[in-house]
Structure 1
Amino acid sequence: MPQPSRFGLLRDPDFGRLFAATALGQLGDRIIFLALPLVAIVALKAEAFQVGLLTATTTAGSLLVGLPAGAWVDRVRKRTVMIGTDLVRALVLSTIPLAWWAGRLTVWWLYAVALVHGVLTVFFDVAYVSYLPHLVGRGSLVEGNARLSAIRSVTSISGPVVAGPLVGAVGAPATLLASSAGMALSGLLAATIRRREGRRPTPTERPRLRLEVTEGLKFVARHPVLRATVLGDAVFSLSLVMYQTMLLVFLERELRLGALGVGLILSGMGCGALLGALVAAKVARRIGQGPAIWLAPLVTCPLTGLMPLTRPGGDMVLYAAAVGLAALSLGGVVRVVAQSSLQQALTPDRLLGRMSATARFVSWGGLPLGGVLGGASGTAFGAPTTLWIGTVGMTLSFLPAFLSPLRTMTAPTLQDGGGRDEGPADDRQLSDAR
C-alpha cells in the first residue's frame, strides 16, 4: 500500500476546489468582520448600542431560519445551495458602497444588509457542513475539517491585514467591495466541483417540513454527546458575541488604535487560529476528541481577561492581551475541528443538514441576544466591564461537555450512535472520495 502523501486530501481535485473557494469566501467574510462595524462606528458615528444591534441583526438569521434551513438543505443539492448563497451575498454587500457614494447610507440600511446576509449565511453554513462528508468520506472528516480550518485561519490573518489599510485608504464602505468580490469568486469556484452527492430525494420521499424539523430536533436532543456540544456552544457563542461587540469599540475608542491597529490585533487572532488548525488533528489524536472539546475553552478563554486590563499607551499589556486573543482563537479552532468531526461522524447522511441546522439554531440562536446584551452592557457599564463578562461566560462554556460522556470519549463508535446510512449510493460516495 502506498504511503499517504503529506498533502493528503489536497491531492483530490474537488477538495482542492472547495479549499480554494473556502479561502476566497472566508477572506471576504473576514473583511466584513472588520469593515461592517467600522462603517457604523466611523462612517455613521453609531452609538455603542447601535453597534450591538448591528451585531444582533447580523446573527439573527440563525434564530429566524435556523431550523427550517436544515430540513430544506436536506432536500436539495448542498453544492447548489453554497453556490447560490455565495453569489447573492456578494450582490447584497455591494449595495453598501453604492448607497454610501449616493449619500443614502444609513444605519438602517446596514441593519437590512446584515439581516439578509445573515440569513443567507445560515443556508450556506448548513449546506457546507453537510456537504463535507459526501465529498471526503467519514474516515477523512478530521483531516478535512482541519485543513479547511487552516485556510480559514490564514484568511483570519490576511483579512484584517488587507482590510485595515483598505479602510484607511478608501474608507470602510468601499472596502466591502473586496468582500463582495471574494464571495462572488468563491461561488464561481465552487461551481467547478465535479463530484456529485447521492441521488436527490423525489417528491414522494419528502415528508412535511414540520416533521422533518422535529426529527432533527429530537435526534440532537436525545443524543447525550450532540446535546452537550450544542449547549456548550450556546454558552460560548453568546458570551463571545458580547465580548466581540465591545472589543472593536474598546480598541477604536478607548485605546484609539485606528483601523490599522485594530486590523493587526485581529490578525494576531488569526495567527492563533492558524496554529490551532495545524495542531487540532494531533491534539484530538493525543487526548481524544471529547477532552479536546472541553479542555480547549477551559485553558484558553481565561486569557481574554487581559484585554480589559489594557490602557492607552500600555504597550506591554496590549501585547499580552493580543496573545490572549490569539490563544482564544487557537482553542476555538481545536474545539471546532474536534467537535464538527464528531458531530458529522455521529449523524446519518439523511440527517446531516438537520443536525447541522439544529446545532446552529441552539448554539447561534442566542447570538442576537448576545449582541443586544453586549451593546446594552457597554452603554450601561462600559466596554471593559462587558469584556470581563464575556471572559467569564466563555470560560464556563466547558461545563456541558465536561459533565457528559465527552469527558473521556476518545472517538465516536457505533455504540455512540455513529455510522452512516446504508445503501449503494453512499458506498459509491465513500469509494469516490478515496
Structure 2
Amino acid sequence: MSETPRQGAVNGREFRLFWFGETTSLFGNGIAVVALPLVAVLTLHADTLVVGLLTSVAYLPWLILGLPAGAWVDRLPRRPVMLVCDAVSFVAFASVPVAAWADVLTIPHLLLAAFVGGCANVFFTTAQRAYLPTLLLDEELLAGNARLQGSESTAEVTGPGLAGLLVQAFGAVAGLLANALSFVVSWLCLRAIRTTEPPPPQVPRRRLRTEVGDGLRFLFRDPILRTLAIFSAVSNIALTGLSSIEVAFLVRTVGVGEAVVGGVLTLCGLGGLLGVLLSHRMSRRHGTARAALLCQVGAAPFTLLFPMTGPGAGLVYFVAGGVGAGAGVVAASIITDTFRQRYCPPGLIGRISASAAVISFGAIAVGGLLGGALGDAFGVRETLWTMSGLQVLSTAILVFSPIRKLRDFPESARAVIPAADEKAVS
C-alpha cells in the first residue's frame, strides 16, 4: 500500500494542483478587479464614492472577522476551510450576472456580493498561508511563494485586458461570471490534493478572545513583524486609495474606453512579473531584509507618475508608474511572506498571519473608502497626488526601523517563543 503524499517539492503533484487552482482563481480576481468597477460605472452609473466603496466593502470583513478567523483556522483543518470559501465565493459573484440578466441588479446587491466575497476571502487567505507549509518544506517555501506571486502578477497582466474584451463583447457583468467560475476550478483542485494535513495542535480550548490575543502579542512584541505590519497598513491605505479610483480616473478624467483601460492595466501588471524575477536575485545579492527594504523604497516614487497621466502619449506615465511600483511591491511581498512562514511558530501561524492581515487588509478597506470620498470631494487627480505622496512618506517607517540594520531576516523564531505564547502551542 502506497503512502499518502506529504510535504514535497514545488514540482510535485500536490503543489502543482494547489498552484493551478490558485492561478485560475487569481485570473478570475484579475478580471473582477476591472469588471466590478466597470459594472458600477457603466451598468449602474455609480459615482466615484460608490466605486471606492466597492473596494472598501470587499476588505471590510478583515476588520470584522480577521482576528477571530485566525483563531478558528488554527483550530480547524485548513483545506476544508478553503473548500467552503471557494463555494461561498462562487455563489456571491455568480449572483451578480444572474441579477443583471434578470434586470434586477442594484448597487446594494453589488456591494453585498463584494462584502460576502470579502468574508470568504478572509478565511481562505488565512487558511492558505497556514496550509502552504503543509505542502512544502521550509527550503521550498520561497520558490513556492514566488510561483504563487508569479501567477498573481500574470493574472494582473492578462486579467484587466481580458476583462476589457469581455465587457466590450458580452457586457460588463460577463467578467464577474468568469470570476465565479474560477472558484469552481480552485475547489476541484483542492479536492484532488492527497497530502495528509497534520491535525491542529491539541491544546485546551480557551476563550476565543484569549487565543486571538496570543497572535496579537506575538506580532506586536516582535520588532520586525510589528514594523512590517505598520508599514503595510500605511502603504495599503495609499496604494488602495490609488487603485480604487484608477478605473474612474482613466474613464472619466483621462477619457479612454473600456478596452484601453484593460490594456493600460495589463501593461502595469508587467511590473508584478518583473518583481517575481527580482525577488530571488535581490535576496541572494543583498540579503532578504535589505532586498525588501530596497524594493519598497525604490518602488514608492513611481506612484508619483500616476496623477501626471493624460490622454494619448500621456498614458505612458500611468504605465511607467504601474510597472515601477508593481515590481518593487511584489518583490518585497514575496520576500516578507516567506519570512513570516518560516519565522512564525506552527501553532500560532494562523493567528499571527490573521493579526497582520487585519492591520494590512483593514487598511485597504480604509484606503478604498478614503480614495472614493476624497475623489468625490476634491477631484480624482488631486486624490492621486495625495495618495502617491503618502506612499512615498510611508517608506520612512522601514528606513527608520530595526530592519535597516539587517542583511537577512532571521530564519526562525520557533525555538524562541515568548513565555506567554509557549502555553498556546505546548
The TM-score range, normalised by the shorter chain, is over 0.9
Name stretches of at least 5 consecutive residues in structure 1 with no aligned partner. Answer: 1-7, 422-434
Q: What residue in structure 1 maps to residue 423 of structure 2?
A: none
Q: Report the AA paired with residue 224 of structure 2.
A: V
Distance in 1 separating the partners of 2:199 and 2:50: 46
Check conservation: 1:310, 1:318, Cα contact below 8 A.
yes
Q: Report the AA paired with residue 127 of structure 2.
A: A
Check conservation: 1:342, 1:411, Cα contact below 8 A.
no
Distance in 1 separating the partners of 2:43 and 2:415: 51
Q: What residue in structure 2 maps to residue 357 of structure 1?
A: 354
Q: What residue in structure 1 maps to residue 301 of structure 2?
A: 302
Distance in 1 separating the partners of 2:139 and 2:10: 15
Tell me how far 1:183 sits from its aligned partner.
Answer: 1.3
Tell me how far 1:311 sits from its aligned partner.
Answer: 2.1
Q: What residue in structure 2 maps to residue 332 of structure 1?
A: 329
Q: What residue in structure 2 maps to residue 40 of structure 1?
A: 40
Task: Indicate yes or no: 2:315 matched with 1:323.
Answer: no
Distance in 1 separating the partners of 2:15 and 2:395: 32
Task: Indicate yes or no: 2:337 matched with 1:348.
Answer: no
Give CA-to-partner distance per residue, 1:278-304, whole Å, 9 cap, x none.
221111121122122222222112112
Check conservation: 2:10, 2:140, Cα contact below 8 A.
no
Mapping of 1:18-167 within 5 angstroms?
18-167=18-167
Among 364, 368, 372, the residue aligned to 1:371: 368
Q: What residue in structure 2 maps to residue 234 of structure 1?
A: 233
Task: Indicate yes or no: 2:216 matched with 1:217.
Answer: yes
Distance in 2 separating the partners of 1:22 and 1:396: 33
Flag the 1:390–1:331 CA change in 2: closer, same or farther, 3 A.
same
Q: What residue in structure 2 maps to residue 406 of structure 1?
A: 403
Give CA-to-partner distance per residue, 1:99-139, whole Å, 9 cap, x none.
11111111011111111111110111111111112211222
Tell me how far 1:419 sits from its aligned partner.
Answer: 5.3
Flag the 1:352–1:107 CA change in 2: closer, same or farther, 3 A.
same
Distance in 1 separating the partners of 2:191 and 2:400: 43
Check conservation: 1:297, 1:395, Cα contact below 8 A.
no
Tell me how far 1:201 sits from its aligned partner.
Answer: 4.3
> Cα RMSD between the aligned structures?
1.7
Tell me how far 1:404 sits from its aligned partner.
Answer: 2.3
Distance in 2 separating the partners of 1:419 and 1:387: 45
Check conservation: 1:298, 1:396, Cα contact below 8 A.
no
Q: What residue in structure 2 maps to residue 244 of structure 1?
A: 243
Tell me how far 1:418 sits from its aligned partner.
Answer: 5.0
Flag the 1:250–1:419 CA change in 2: closer, same or farther, 3 A.
farther
Distance in 1 separating the partners of 2:288 and 2:330: 13
Distance in 2 separating the partners of 1:80 and 1:119: 16
Give CA-to-partner distance per residue, 1:65-123, whole Å, 9 cap, x none.
01001000111111111122112101110000111111111101111111111111011
Distance in 2 separating the partners of 1:51 and 1:27: 21
Distance in 2 separating the partners of 1:373 and 1:245: 9
Give CA-to-partner distance per residue, 1:143-192, whole Å, 9 cap, x none.
11111111111111121121110011111112211111111111111111
Q: What residue in structure 2 maps to residue 181 of structure 1?
A: 181
Tell me how far 1:347 sits from its aligned partner.
Answer: 0.4
- Between the two proteins, the alignment pairs up a number of residues equal to 410
SS in 1 for 2:244: helix
Distance in 2 separating the partners of 1:220 and 1:157: 33
Tell me how far 1:307 sits from its aligned partner.
Answer: 2.1
TM-score norm. by structure 1 comes to 0.91
Q: Report the AA paired with residue 279 of structure 2.
A: A
Tell me how far 1:328 sits from its aligned partner.
Answer: 1.1
SS in 2 for 1:11: coil
Check conservation: 2:161, 2:262, Cα contact below 8 A.
yes
TM-score norm. by structure 2 comes to 0.92
Distance in 2 separating the partners of 1:291 and 1:333: 15
Check conservation: 2:303, 2:391, Cα contact below 8 A.
no
Q: Report the AA paired with residue 297 of structure 1.
A: Q
Distance in 1 separating the partners of 2:13 and 2:284: 27
